[in-house]
């Protein structure tokens, strides 16, 4: 239930201040990357370390560089992530349209796949043209999902509590 309450609070914060939430999420990713890099560096000095020390050193360095750059400029990192999302949406949209055309004789309603692909391409274009708005949109969706998820967790917590009280 506590996790549900935390999720609700996060969801509300994301809906009230999506820009700050997006920057905070990017900053948190940067902190996690720095922590991962530090663990990697420590692993280089461990006698129990398995695998290639060269790859571990490379991974630790990349993690530290990415983490520091992200912590120093989380807003830019968040925008870059939205642009990466746009690239993925573009590829996904093209794939869906191509697939729908190829299998149109085998399925009914292929126009729905084509529409799905077209909407993905449109969303990709909007994210590229307006990355700031795309970032806010993603943060709002994450907030809404976190809010719904948290509400379900709290509901489940009450249901489980009643079950425990009956059994006890």
Q: What is the pLDDT of residue 3?
A: 84
pLDDT band at 168 (very low <50, low <70, confident <90, very high): low
Please determine, for residue 132, whether its predicted confidence score (pLDDT) is greater than 80: yes
What's the rounded Cα separation, in Å, for the pair 12 and 139? 11
> CA neighbours within 13 Å on the CB side: how many for 60?
14
Q: Which of 78, 72, 69, 71 is nearest to 139 (CA)?
A: 78
In this structure, of 1-5, 69-73, 125-129, 133-137, the range with the lowest mean pLDDT score is 1-5
Q: State pLDDT tens for residues 82-111.
A: 999 999 999 999 999 999 999 888 888 889
Is the pLDDT score of 114 beyond 80?
yes
CA–CA separation, 56 and 41 (whole Å): 8
Q: What is the average per-residue pLDDT within 64-92?
A: 93
Give the tokens for residue 168: 């006890």
Tell me what pLDDT residue 2 has: 87
Radius of gyration (C-alpha) of the chain in whole angstroms? 22
């Amino acid at each position: 239930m506590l996790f549900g309450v935390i999720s609700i609070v996060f969801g509300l914060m994301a809906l009230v201040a999506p820009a700050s939430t997006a920057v905070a999420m990017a900053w948190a990713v940067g902190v996690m990357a720095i922590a991962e890099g530090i663990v990697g560096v420590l692993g280089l000095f461990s006698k129990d370390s398995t695998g290639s020390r060269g790859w571990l050193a490379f991974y630790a360095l990349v993690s530290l560089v990415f983490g520091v750059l992200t912590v120093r400029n989380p807003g830019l990192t968040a925008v870059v992530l939205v642009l990466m999302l746009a690239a993925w949406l573009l590829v996904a949209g093209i794939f869906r349209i191509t697939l729908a055309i190829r299998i149109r004789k085998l399925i009914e309603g292929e126009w729905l796949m084509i529409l799905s692909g077209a909407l993905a391409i449109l969303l990709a274009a909007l994210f590229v043209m307006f990355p700031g708005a795309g970032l806010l949109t993603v943060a709002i969706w994450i907030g809404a999902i976190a809010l719904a998820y948290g509400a379900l967790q709290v509901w489940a917590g009450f249901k489980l509590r009643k079950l425990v009280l009956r059994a006890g």
